Amino acid sequence: MPETRLTLRRPDDWHVHLRDGDRLAQVLGETARVFARAIVMPNLEAPVTTVKDAAAYRNRINRSVKGARFTPLMTLYLTDTSDPDEVEKGYRSGVVIACKLYPAHATTNAEHGVTDVANIRSVLARMEKVGLPLLVHGEVTDPDVDVFDREVVFIERVLAPLVKDFPGLRVVFEHVTTAEAVAFVRESREGIAATITPHHLMINRNAMFRGGFRPHAYCLPVAKREVHRLALRQAAVSGEPRFFLGTDSAPHAAAAKESACGCAGIYNAPVAMAAYATVFEEEGALDRLENFSSHSGAAFYGLPVNEDTLVLERAPFAVPERLGDMVPFLAGETLPWRVAGLGGPTRGPVL
């Protein structure tokens, strides 16, 4: 008989978009009831570029949490004019856990992003010196580069040189989508890691064109061919500590996605752990889910693992067609696992 309940050390989400205002209030609970900690992306409409912004945003999140045991971990959005002293201040004050590199115009709210990595060399040098990780949206924005090749070209043109030029800089290659990215991370020096989303483990690029155009399967980096999805699954379930959980849950109003110029982002927070459990089970690797969800990310950031646990149960989980004005990932589908709730504290291995 297969297991019917699975108790994991409580997981963390190392990459999530929580937005602000009413949207924050609407989506936060889905993350906070499951994940103990989350790295909160700084790409608000007015990006989070200063320590003061990050502390204020953290306060707004904490005020919205309403009783859940949840710790938001804050990031700074790098721009061409970011100041090394400000970044160091963020690190020293304990407010900032990492800085985010969005190539300018690469994705949602990336207009203020970095136009050329040469412009932030002094910031990267300071981050390297103090030990502050760099989180990278790894896509070039050159319109001459095919949209499905943007991650691979980014590795060649930007990431490989950066990792060499700053040999002590810790880097997370966010939401990897290609076999080449997996290989790059695996073969890199120490201090290089990657997050993997539930959607890139479950869908390939065909999902955007199934019987018509499907905007809710569109995110950036865009899903690639099946061969890449298979490489991501293999990396996620491998147990290798360089690959860990980051949902990239990116909520948008359905109307903003179902549009002549629909925006990128998949809202997966309501289904994320059920989806990861489904993938790990399909790969015969449920025993390694906890490494991916609850150990490897904490180790990368030098944080303790969580003391409490999350219980998943094998029970049909019918994903709603809509949640408010949003369409969640896997809307209308049924998953074999669902989150039963939080369990008590543990001190030993629980699997």
Among 248, 287, 308, 325, which one carries the catalytic annotation? 248
Q: Is 151 an interacting residue with respect to ligand NCD (CB under 6 A)?
A: no
Q: Is 151 an interacting residue with respect to Zn ion (CB under 5 A)?
A: no
Q: Is 180 an interacting residue with respect to Zn ion (CB under 5 A)?
A: no
DSSP string for 225-265: -HHHHHHHHHHHHT--TTEEE---B----HHHHSSTTPPP-
What are the DSSP E strand ranges found in the chain? 5-9, 13-16, 37-40, 71-77, 96-101, 134-136, 171-173, 192-196, 243-245, 309-318, 334-343
CB of 135 to ligand NCD, least distance (A): 10
| Alpha-helical segments (H) within 18-159 | 21-32, 51-65, 84-93, 121-130, 150-154
319-338 residues near ligand NCD, rule: CB under 6 A: none
Residue of 265, 270, 297, 328 that binds ligand NCD (CB under 6 A)? 265
183-242 residues near ligand NCD, rule: CB under 6 A: 219-220
In the bound state with Zn ion, the residue whose beta carbon lies nearer, of 266 and 312, is 266
Calculate ∠ Cα 161-164-165, nearest 5°: 85
CB of 168 to ligand NCD, least distance (A): 26
Q: Is 240 an interacting residue with respect to Zn ion (CB under 5 A)?
A: no
15-74 residues near ligand NCD, rule: CB under 6 A: 17, 43
Of the chain, the end-to-end C-alpha distance in Å amounts to 17
Q: Is 107 an interacting residue with respect to ligand NCD (CB under 6 A)?
A: yes
Q: Is 108 an interacting residue with respect to ligand NCD (CB under 6 A)?
A: yes
Q: 304 in helix, strand or coil?
A: coil
Annotation marks residue 248 as catalytic: yes
How far apart are alpha carbons 171 and 6 in whole angstroms?
31
Residues 6+ apart with CB under 8 A from 59: none
Q: Is 248 an interacting residue with respect to ligand NCD (CB under 6 A)?
A: yes
Q: Is 248 an interacting residue with respect to Zn ion (CB under 5 A)?
A: yes
Q: Is 177 an interacting residue with respect to ligand NCD (CB under 6 A)?
A: no
How far apart are alpha carbons 124 and 136 in whole angstroms?
12
- The residues annotated as belonging to the active site are 248
Q: Which residues of the shown chain bind Zn ion in the complex (CB under 5 A)? A: 248
Q: Which residues of the shown chain bind ligand NCD in the complex (CB under 6 A)? A: 17, 43, 107-108, 137, 219-220, 248, 250, 264-265
